[in-house]
Chain A
């Protein structure tokens, strides 16, 4: 049962818009998200679909985290671990084309402006 769950989960995430990318020689895109009070600034606004390494870097004085979610219906969010000031974290995801919302999920941070949209091009 467990063996069946993993491929089903991967398929579900793919459908939802984001999947952890496994290793390979496929070309990889990168985008860095600089977080500080109260903004998310991305190194680029769009990337090519496929393996995308998203790196969050905390340039602020508060703790922050990052959530990435496709704007497609039924998608599930991918949460990055929380970072202290000067901390960073990254994840490599397989992103199909579409628009993705990014935000800091700590209380009140998104409302104050810590949000952005990443476009993934076909």
Chain B
């Protein structure tokens, strides 16, 4: 088997920035330069094999200055996780947790318990860079998933095909890819037995597998015969020849917008097939030339938000992020359906308005308001204003044409600003340039 392609071009700040955005939530000030100094291999390993977690930045608070209670207060779940994305020193762990949340999309609208959703979130994080086999076993038995996809309603007397179908269609094989409707029915039988106890005031609790509720009869799944149970169901889908190609292509798509070549796909499958370990596949993807030389990807709304805050050095200090993110199309813990978020919808006229609001709210703490306009001298100098905006947002790499547009806007706005306008206009123009930079295509994509 030929070695997988490895990026061999320059690994400078622009490349390090892209890596940090695709494998995390963007750089804090100076982080891209530090990562670039490591070189590609060490940079990738610093992400895939990170040191212990160190939280960087202020403790998160809601609008009323209260500490967060992610299991007990509406919106605090979203804020808690956004805070992790902002303050983490292990961005790939957190990004993969987000990717798994999309892959095994579970919505609290169907679960009805922030506590159970938080438990699922911890599970996704625990297996973020590890074994997909262990992750799949754990998610099959996870209480939030059992409620969401009717696992506890699936009994030997009344099989429910919901989880059995999505296990294959969305999580392991792909729609109609290597299985039949009979396999769906037989998988449902194999997955019977899960139940819970209802306690007044607490709701569903004590989730467990009850052999008395399980269908112990002979089943035929993918042409194989056996008295399969739920663990066999998981094992059979992982062993299916269509699983490894599905897995590597789906994992790849979180990092690179164009599908892998046939040889790259084969190489990634070879890394994954027998071990089901995620880390080696991730390392190969993060070193692949396609990540550095291919087209840009639109940043998901929460990634964009966390990245803005990281670049600005600002923490989570308002509950507005919840509804702003919802407006932009991504409320954490509430994916639109079991297929997850549709990343082709990240930029439409509705969601762009949400992103405008995100940028506006991120920058509001730095706005040159009336008092600041009097105390902070902003030079009547378009170049300095654009330079200042870039510095505020962490000096992101932007295209020359974007720089030119911002400069042209600043020049045009300051033209003829004489007399009292010479002092009044520059701070207003600076505020506008910052907003335009934050919503530019350069910062919406990576």
Contact = CB atoms under 8 A, between A and B. Distances in A.
B300 to A, nearest CB: 24
Interface stretch (B71-79, B150-158, B438-446): B71-79
B202 interface: yes
Interface in A47-105: 53, 55, 57, 59, 88, 102
Nearest to A47: B72
B112 A34 contact: yes
Given A28-B66, A30-B69, A32-B114, A45 B202 contact: yes
A42 B73 CA distance: 11
Interface string B107-144: 00100111100000000000000000000000000000
Contact of B200 (A43, A44, A115): A115
B73 A45 contact: no
A55 B74 contact: yes
A41 B112 contact: yes
B201 interface: yes
B10 interface: no
The secondary structure that dominates the B interface is: loop
B203 interface: yes
B73 A55 contact: yes
A4 B108 CA distance: 47
Contacts of A59: 109, 112
B113 A31 contact: no
B72 A44 contact: yes
Interface in A99-122: 102, 113, 115-118
Nearest to A54: B72
Given A32-B73, A53-B73, A39 B203 contact: yes
Contacts of A53: 66, 73
Contacts of A102: 201
Nearest to B110: A59
Contact of A31 (B72, B76, B112, B200): B72
Given A30-B69, A55-B73, A88-B74, A42 B112 contact: no
B149 to A, nearest CB: 17
Contacts of B115: 43-44
Nearest to A28: B66
A41 B73 contact: no
Q: Which 7 A-B pairs have the closest CB atoms?
A: A116-B201, A41-B203, A30-B72, A30-B69, A43-B72, A32-B72, A30-B73
Given A42-B202, A53-B66, 6 more contacts: A41-B112, A41-B203, A44-B115, A88-B74, A102-B201, A113-B200
Interface of A: 28, 30-32, 34, 36, 39-45, 53, 55, 57, 59, 88, 102, 113, 115-118
29 contacts: A28-B66, A30-B72, A30-B73, A30-B76, A32-B72, A32-B74, A34-B112, A34-B203, A36-B112, A39-B200, A39-B203, A41-B113, A41-B203, A42-B201, A43-B72, A43-B114, A43-B115, A44-B72, A45-B201, A45-B202, A55-B73, A57-B74, A59-B109, A88-B74, A102-B201, A115-B200, A116-B201, A117-B201, A118-B201
